[in-house]
Each structure stands twice: as C-alpha cells, then as structure tokens.
C-alpha cells in the first residue's frame, strides 16, 4: 500500500513532489549536494488501524526504511492529524499521516569499481544478473563490496535515490535478476508495482525430496523467535504466498519453479522447507544432510559440498516506470546450478539403467 499525493487524500498511490534545493547551480555541482523535497499524505485504512505509528508508516510509505521513518516521526516531520506523536503510539483508521522531509544524499556509502552483469539499462532503470556471493546492501559484516557500492560507481547520481535505487533484494548466495531504480520517480513507481504485486518474479530451485505435484503455499512469515537471523512460518507473521510447479523429478530431488506473489525475506527458502522440501545447499533451512540411496561418491560429495542454496531468479517482468510498457527479462541458469542438474540426471539414468 502506498501513500497518496497531497492533492488527493483518498488515493493510495505515492507521488513525490521533489524539488532540487540548488536549482541555480549546475547539474555537476548539485549532484552530490542536493536533496529532494518529500511531501506525502495518506489516510490510514481501517485494516491498519490500531497499530503503532511506525508500523503503519512503514506500510503506507514503504519506499522509505522503517528506521528513517522513525527518525522523521521523532523529528516531527511525520505527523498524525497535524500532531506530533511518538513512533510507538497507536493510530486509528481514518487518521491522516503527513510527511514533509528532505531525502538527503546517502554520503556514508562509498563507490567501488565492482563489475556488474548488466542485462538492461536506460535513463530510469537498471536490470542486473547478480552473481552468487555478492551482498546487495551494506550491513554488519559487509560494510562495502556490495551491489550498492557497485551501483554508486556505475551511476553516481543514484546516491540521491532512497537505498540507492534498490527496491527488492536477493540473498547473498542467490543468483539472478534484480531491477534497480535510477531516479526517485522510477523508484516510487517500482515500489508501487511491487506492493500491488504486478511485478512478476519467477525463480528456479533444486529441492531435496521428490515433489509429486505443484501447488500454492500460503503461510505467513516472521522473524524466528530465538534465531534472529532466520525467518520462520508463524502465526502473526506477514502474509506470504508462493506458487510452485515441478520442472523435472530425479531420484531424490526435484527441479522446481516458484513464482512469488509476495516478497518476504527468505520466502522461497522458508516456504519450501515448511512443506518439507528444503533447498539443496541451504545452510539455514536445509536441515540435516541426507544421502540419496545408492548414490555414487561423486554425487554425494557434490550435494554435501554445494556451496550455496540452489536458487536462481530466472524471470523478471514489470511495467516500465516511465513509458508504462510491459518488459520482461530471462537469466540463464548459472554454471553450478546446471552442473548439479547434470549430475542428478546422470544419477537417475544410471539407476534406471
């Protein structure tokens, strides 16, 4: 759900009214010093009433991080019915949230010359094929060397876009397609599409076990109660829906295609483990290693030492944020994924023979 522009109180789409702070300066001089004016207004829908202000704001203004929104609340830049309240205070359906702030350049991040596999690029968006091992965003233990640092080198002005244009993420060891917004306007539109679920994201994975048929997994996901780095299916978690179908079955594994309806953290990994078909190589959700019956030593060693979760973002489809044209991309399976499929096929043929 998105915020509405100031002039349209009841609408749910976000519109930024951004103004350059130094319009009289040259573009080159202003690119690193300018900030964008943010003026947003939204009415709290009834289904969000009764929640904390910071929780509601995170859903209505999802293009901004929760920590940034909390800071704006404390600074009095995000008000409720014109009043300044605390992030933890409860808001009710029908209340009017107004945000007036400036999006400052994210100067703490550094640009790094890291090679990018660019699938598509224009003035508004960038589609990349992310390799395994590349962290998307700086975090504890990964202060640099991330996709974000590479983006700052490739598109310096992206420093002025929230989260450097990153609107969705892939786990460090998940490969495949990602779209990045190069402007605030593109970022706003892409976030709106993600929230309305009009972006099509289709993944392929190799799971442990023989999946008999495709299906739908509708199971809410939240942060694990004890292991905070993990997610889990739990009552009270955020709605999460995945659709899966079988591409190919092997003796003890299955090549599966998964289409996301929502985009929760670790969603495919958590959902497939939840139905007892964890991903090969998944260090967090894969469970105890199981040796396939009568498997040869090469197969056992490959499965045991597969260096990452066997998950690849294969297809991406969305409406271009400026032209509105429907666009789609496909990423070929990476070499390690193809090699594992080859071994599984050989194992199946040898056993049948």
Give the residue among 151, 142, 209 at the shortest CA–CA distance from 173: 142
213 exposure class (CB count in 10 Å sphere: 0-12, 13-18, 19+) = exposed
State the Cα angle at 257 between 253 and 260, rounded to 5°: 130
Please report which helix (H) or strand (E) contains residue 133, including its range. none
Q: Is 319 one of the catalytic residues? A: no
Structure tokens at 61: 């203004």
- Cα 314 from Cα 277, distance rounded (Å): 20
For the chain, where are the E strands, in sequence order? Answer: 36-43, 51-52, 78-80, 90-91, 96-103, 118-121, 125-130, 175-181, 200-208, 215-218, 221-223, 231-233, 241-249, 253-260, 311-319, 326-330
> Which residues, at least 6 apart from 331, have a Cβ–Cβ distance to it below 8 Å?
119, 129, 175, 176, 177, 312, 313, 314, 315, 316
Nearest Cα residue to 39 out of 104, 100, 115: 100
Is 48:26 a contact under the CB 8 Å cutoff?
no
- At 93, which helix (H) or strand (E)? none
Q: Tell me the three state secondary structure of residue 205.
A: strand
What is the spatial distance between Cα 229 and Cα 117, in angstroms, rounded to a whole number? 29
Task: For the chain, give percent helix, strand, coil, nearest 5.
Answer: 25, 30, 45
| Residue whose pair of structure tokens reads 């032209």 in the numeric block | 323
- The one catalytic residue among 36, 124, 171, 173: 171
Q: Which residues carry out catalysis?
A: 171
């Amino acid at each position: 759900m998105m915020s509405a522009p100031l002039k349209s109180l009841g609408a749910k789409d976000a519109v930024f009214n951004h103004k350059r702070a130094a319009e009289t300066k040259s573009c080159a001089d202003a690119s690193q010093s300018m900030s964008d004016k943010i003026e947003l207004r939204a009415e709290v829908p009834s289904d969000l009433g009764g929640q904390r202000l910071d929780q509601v704001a995170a859903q209505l203004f999802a293009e901004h991080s929760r920590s940034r929104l909390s800071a704006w609340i404390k600074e009095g830049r995000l008000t409720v019915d014109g009043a300044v309240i605390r992030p933890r205070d409860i808001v009710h359906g029908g209340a009017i949230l107004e945000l007036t702030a400036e999006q400052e350049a994210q100067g703490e991040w550094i640009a790094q010359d890291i090679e990018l596999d660019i699938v598509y690029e224009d003035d508004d968006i960038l589609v990349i094929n992310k390799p395994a091992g590349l962290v998307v965003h700086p975090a504890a233990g990964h202060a640099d060397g991330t996709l974000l640092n590479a983006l700052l080198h490739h598109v310096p002005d992206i420093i002025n876009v929230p989260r450097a244009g990153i609107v969705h993420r892939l786990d460090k060891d998940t490969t495949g397609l990602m779209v990045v917004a190069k402007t605030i306007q593109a970022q706003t539109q892409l976030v709106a599409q993600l929230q309305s679920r009009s972006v099509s994201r289709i993944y392929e994975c190799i799971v442990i076990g023989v999946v008999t048929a495709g299906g739908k997994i509708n199971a809410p996901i939240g942060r694990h109660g004890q292991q905070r780095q993990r997610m889990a299916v739990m009552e009270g978690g955020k709605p999460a829906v995945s659709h899966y179908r079988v591409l190919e079955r092997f003796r003890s594994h299955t090549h599966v295609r998964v289409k996301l309806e929502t985009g929760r953290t670790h969603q495919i990994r958590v959902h497939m483990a939840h139905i007892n078909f964890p991903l090969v190589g998944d260090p967090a959700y894969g469970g105890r290693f199981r040796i396939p019956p009568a498997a040869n030593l090469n197969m056992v060693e490959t499965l045991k030492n597969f260096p990452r979760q066997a998950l690849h973002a294969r297809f991406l489809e969305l409406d271009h944020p400026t032209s509105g044209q429907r666009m789609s991309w496909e990423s070929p399976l990476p070499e390690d994924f193809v090699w594992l499929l080859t071994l599984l096929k050989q194992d199946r043929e040898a056993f049948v023979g």
